[in-house]
Amino acid sequence: MTGVARNRVLDWIKTNLFSSPFNIVLTFLLLFVATKLLWNFLDWAVLRAVWGGDAETCRHGAGGACWAYVRDKARYVLFGHYPYEQQWRPQLFVAIFFLLSLLTQFKRFWSKYLTAAWVVLPLGAAGLMWGGFFGLTHVEMEEWGGLPLTLALAFLGISASYPIGIVLALARRSEMPVIRALSVIYIEVIRGVPLISMLFMAAVMFPLFLPEGITISKVVRAQVAIIMFASAYMAEVVRGGLQSLAKGQYEAADAIGLSYTKKMVFVVLPQALKAVIAPTVNTFIGLFKDTSLVFIISLSDLMFTTQASLQDADWLGFTVEGYIFAAFVYFVFCYFISFSSSRLEKELKV
Amino acid sequence: MRIFIAVAALVFAAMSITAYAGKTLDAIKKRGRVRCGVSNGLPGFSSPDSKGKWKGLDVDVCRAFAAAVFGDSKKIDVVGLSAQQRFTALQSGEVDVLTRNTTHTLSRDTALGLNFAPVNYYDGQGFLVRKALGVKNARGLNGASICVIQGTTNERNLSDYFRKHKMKYKPVVMENNNELFKAFMAGRCDVFSTDASGLAAQRSKTKKPSELVILPDIISKEPLAPAVRHGDDEWLDIVKWTVYAMIAAEEMGITSRNVKRMKKSSDPDVQRLLGVIKGNGKAIGLTETWAYNIIKQVGNYGESFERNVGKNTPLKLARGLNGLWTTGKNGLMYAPPLK
């Protein structure tokens, strides 16, 4: 560190942390509290933690975290009830998603091939999990669980609700009164109802309306509910983008005689969608976390497997460790989404 | 657009049309698996192990159904159900049978349209105390402070019981089960009270479970039994007699280990149960080896009990009400003659 830089740091500390007696006290107080909290956590999570063995080892350990629990249960939490010996299939599924997301980070890979890959590969991966060909055993959708289910619910939810949301937003700003009214009613009704109640409708009420003997997979019912829910929110985000656009853009497009479709596709939407990347990603992240609500209707997503793993009679009482692990997994994915969006904003120079 | 088509394709692929017209057994045979609804996770009754396999007392009953119908206890689909979902799932045909720690009550048996099989676990509210307290039974709890969860039937059972026996107690109520147990461990109350199986689960979380005792008294009735839909007597028969066969096997001393040898037994009751003397299988609409397969692959009731909730498991539950009627203690497990 050069002398100038050191001076600058000292200056910053002086002006921001020690500018008055009150601030000095406050700084030390906060420093003390923060260190204490951090130390307590480290003490629990690292120093006194138990890293291997079984529940008894943990109970008679130094009273720290029981990571042995996470070690034993991680595979169940991540891949749920998918047959244990066949779990390379969901592992491959997650790997494919990871690889695609990674490639999409870099603009030089953007091409129609990548778009095609985003359609073909997830479908192929889903087919792999479904099985029933090339000697792969068929695995019922009800047995899919853990991370792949969470990812699939979120991915399909996002990729279906985005276009539906755009259509709804355009409909809401349409000059045709019936279309506009339908869109407004849909958006307001869905936004007025909590996601939980929609999931309950899908899981508990809906089967009673079907004729006896016909069952639609619970996974599909929940997925449709999530898409319906997310679309309404997405519509309002897109509408925000449409409103932010200067009126001149619409008028200019009209003036050169573009049709409605061309006006929207080539002039309005590219600008409007670009303007609302941040709130769009906000909705995506919300949706990703909302998928955890499906545990209430007993779909074995990440949240469900976490909770179920806590009920194993051999491993009772490690609730905190279980939830920390689940929180960590959710954080990794949500942070990845938000990181990608800030890269995207830079690439598109918003 | 391609995404839309993909979604539509998935929806269609996932739509499975199963035709059953009151004939649950036909549907099960066509599907090749028995579908059981279990609890999302209840220690000892149904919970997934580290490999994602469901295990527990309730899951064992489900395996027994598969052993009876297919001769293969592995042919089950286990569906985790929440308390709110369980009855709809059964009524809509999503599951063939509920083996989900469901209490047999009049209203469920009638108005809800369920039929109950014999009880496979007699639960009920009990008391957990420190061994050091020296209390031997619930009558010794006069004047004790008791931790109990707020707004549950447990709270009401407690006040009823103490009023009936003209005893006094000091309730310590909280909403959250885990916090309540922490309060008990910290000495805020002398006694912790909830359903006995729940007491055992909480006890197993402590450092030294042997320092806590569950008193033998049970002050409420929670008979947990498998349930099926109204209107399919054939399937109800199978469910019913599967549970009975497991109890009868224990009564006759037949276990998964000695079942092969027992085939040579000269006892006509044993011969009938194991299908050496034919007739039972035909009557119930299954193969003659149905009960043999249950015992061979799942075990008798006592084996299942000990494996999942018994003395050598973390739950360490005593047989108590769930013992055989023949033991002379207060066991209630009794199977009608299988002939």
Q: What ipTM was estimated for this complex?
A: 0.79
- Asked if the Cβ–Cβ distance from A217 to B85 is below 8 Å, we say no
Do the domain assignments include residue B57? yes
Do the domain assignments include residue B1? no
Cβ neighbour number for residue A303 with a 10 Å cutoff: 22
**Where does the pLDDT of residue A188 fall: very low under 50, low under 70, confident under 90, or very high at 90 and above?**
very high
The CATH number that applies at residue B101 is 3.40.190.10
Per DSSP (E only), the strands in chain B are 15-17, 34-39, 47-48, 54-55, 76-81, 97-98, 114-116, 121-123, 125-130, 144-149, 169-174, 191-195, 212-214, 222-224, 227-229
Per-residue confidence (pLDDT) for residue A145, from 0 to 100: 86
Whether B19 and B116 map to the same domain: the answer is: yes
For the cut 50, the answer to whether the pLDDT of residue B18 exceeds it is no
Nearest by CB to residue A123, choosing from B4, B6, B18, is: B6
The pLDDT tens digits for B251-285 are 999 999 999 999 999 999 999 999 999 999 999 99
Query: Which of B220, B240, B264 is the last residue in one of the domains?
Result: B220
Interface probe with B: pick from A302, A311, A319, A321, most Cβ of B within 10 Å: A311
Contact A238, A166 (CB under 8 A): yes
Q: What percentage of chain A has pLDDT greater than the value 70?
A: 98
Orientation of helix A88-104 relative to helix A319-347, angle to 10°: 30
- Nearest residue in A to B207, CA atom: A59
Asked if the A76-82+139-347 domain carries CATH number 3.90.700.10, the reply is: no
Nearest by CB to residue B44, choosing from A207, A210, A313, is: A313
B151 to chain A, minimum CA–CA distance in Å? 22
Whether B28 and B108 map to the same domain: the answer is: yes
Residues whose CB falls within 8 Å of the CB of residue A132, separated by 6 or more in sequence, listed in order:
A138
For the cut 50, the answer to whether the pLDDT of residue A101 exceeds it is yes
Interface probe with A: pick from B85, B112, B308, B313, most Cβ of A within 10 Å: B85
Whether B17 and B106 map to the same domain: the answer is: yes
Per-residue confidence (pLDDT) for residue A342, from 0 to 100: 87
- Asked if the Cβ–Cβ distance from A319 to B93 is below 8 Å, we say no
Whether B115 and B235 map to the same domain: the answer is: yes
Contact B201, B315 (CB under 8 A): yes
- Nearest residue in B to A61, CA atom: B207
- Contact list, A119 vs chain B (CB under 8 Å): 2-3, 6
For the cut 80, the answer to whether the pLDDT of residue B8 exceeds it is no
Orientation of helix A147-172 relative to helix A302-309, angle to 10°: 150
Query: Which of B162, B187, B220 is the last residue in one of the domains?
Result: B220
Q: What are phi and psi of B256, to 5 degrees?
A: -65, -25
- Contact list, A298 vs chain B (CB under 8 Å): 40, 79-82, 85
**Where does the pLDDT of residue A119 fall: very low under 50, low under 70, confident under 90, or very high at 90 and above?**
confident
For the cut 80, the answer to whether the pLDDT of residue A322 exceeds it is yes
Per-residue confidence (pLDDT) for residue B151, from 0 to 100: 75
Nearest by CB to residue B205, choosing from A160, A204, A316, is: A316
Q: What is the pTM of this model?
A: 0.84
Residues whose CB falls within 8 Å of the CB of residue B93, separated by 6 or more in sequence, listed in order:
A212, A213, A215, B18, B20, B27, B229
Residue B184 sits in which domain range? 125-220
Structural domain count, chain B: 2
Tokens of residue A34, six digits: 């923060």
Whether B42 and B70 map to the same domain: the answer is: yes
A–B CB contacts, 8 A cutoff, strictly below: 145
- Contact list, B92 vs chain A (CB under 8 Å): 207-208, 210, 215
For the cut 80, the answer to whether the pLDDT of residue A273 exceeds it is yes
Q: What is the mean pLDDT of chain A?
A: 88
Of B15 and A238, the structure prediction assigns the larger pLDDT to: A238
Q: Whose CA is closest to B68, among B230, B243, B231, B225?
A: B243
What secondary structure, in 3-state letters, does A205-218 show?
A: HHHHHCCCCEEECH
For the cut 70, the answer to whether the pLDDT of residue A320 exceeds it is yes
Do the domain assignments include residue B188? yes
**Where does the pLDDT of residue B9 fall: very low under 50, low under 70, confident under 90, or very high at 90 and above?**
very low
Per-residue confidence (pLDDT) for residue A2, from 0 to 100: 64
B198 to chain A, minimum CA–CA distance in Å? 11
- Nearest residue in A to B81, CA atom: A298
Tokens of residue A154, six digits: 């979120």
Q: What is the mean pLDDT of residues B33-62?
A: 91
- Asked if the Cβ–Cβ distance from A84 to B53 is below 8 Å, we say yes
Q: What are phi and psi of B146, to 5 degrees?
A: -125, 125
Per-residue confidence (pLDDT) for residue B191, from 0 to 100: 94
**Where does the pLDDT of residue A37 fall: very low under 50, low under 70, confident under 90, or very high at 90 and above?**
very high
- Strand B144-149 relative to strand B97-98, pairing: unpaired
Q: What percentage of chain B has pLDDT greater than the value 90?
A: 58
**Where does the pLDDT of residue B20 fall: very low under 50, low under 70, confident under 90, or very high at 90 and above?**
very low
**Where does the pLDDT of residue A209 fall: very low under 50, low under 70, confident under 90, or very high at 90 and above?**
confident
| B97-98 β-sheet, strand order | B76-81, B34-39, B97-98, B227-229, B114-116
A145 to chain B, minimum CA–CA distance in Å? 10
Whether B132 and B100 map to the same domain: the answer is: no
Contact B91, A208 (CB under 8 A): yes
- Asked if the Cβ–Cβ distance from A308 to B42 is below 8 Å, we say no
Do the domain assignments include residue B46? yes
Whether B160 and B300 map to the same domain: the answer is: no
- Contact list, A203 vs chain B (CB under 8 Å): 85
For the cut 70, the answer to whether the pLDDT of residue B15 exceeds it is no
The pLDDT tens digits for B305-329 are 999 999 999 898 888 889 999 987 7
Q: What are phi and psi of B127, to 5 degrees?
A: -125, 135
Longest pairwise C-alpha distance within chain A: 81
Q: What are phi and psi of A183, to 5 degrees?
A: -65, -45
Q: What is the mean pLDDT of residues B27-50?
A: 90
B1 to chain A, minimum CA–CA distance in Å? 9
Do the domain assignments include residue B203? yes
Whether B116 and B17 map to the same domain: the answer is: yes
Per-residue confidence (pLDDT) for residue B1, from 0 to 100: 42
Separation of first and last alpha carbons in chain B: 64
Whether B30 and B85 map to the same domain: the answer is: yes
- Asked if the Cβ–Cβ distance from B85 to A204 is below 8 Å, we say yes
Contact A213, A144 (CB under 8 A): no
The pLDDT tens digits for B227-245 are 999 989 999 999 999 999 9
Contact B315, B309 (CB under 8 A): yes
- Nearest residue in A to B80, CA atom: A298
**Where does the pLDDT of residue A4 fall: very low under 50, low under 70, confident under 90, or very high at 90 and above?**
confident
A244 to chain B, minimum CA–CA distance in Å? 27
Per-residue confidence (pLDDT) for residue A334, from 0 to 100: 92
For the cut 70, the answer to whether the pLDDT of residue B135 exceeds it is yes
Residues whose CB falls within 8 Å of the CB of residue A284, separated by 6 or more in sequence, listed in order:
A154, A158, A337
For the cut 90, the answer to whether the pLDDT of residue A64 exceeds it is no
Per-residue confidence (pLDDT) for residue A350, from 0 to 100: 66
**For chain A, domain boundaries:** 76-82+139-347
**Where does the pLDDT of residue A212 fall: very low under 50, low under 70, confident under 90, or very high at 90 and above?**
low
Helix (H, G, I), strand (E, B) or coil at B72: coil
The pLDDT tens digits for B160-215 are 999 999 999 999 998 777 788 889 988 999 999 998 888 988 888 888 888 999 99
For the cut 50, the answer to whether the pLDDT of residue A118 exceeds it is yes
Q: What is the mean pLDDT of residues B128-146?
A: 90
- Contact list, B113 vs chain A (CB under 8 Å): none
Per-residue confidence (pLDDT) for residue B81, from 0 to 100: 86
Per-residue confidence (pLDDT) for residue A213, from 0 to 100: 65
For the cut 50, the answer to whether the pLDDT of residue B10 exceeds it is no
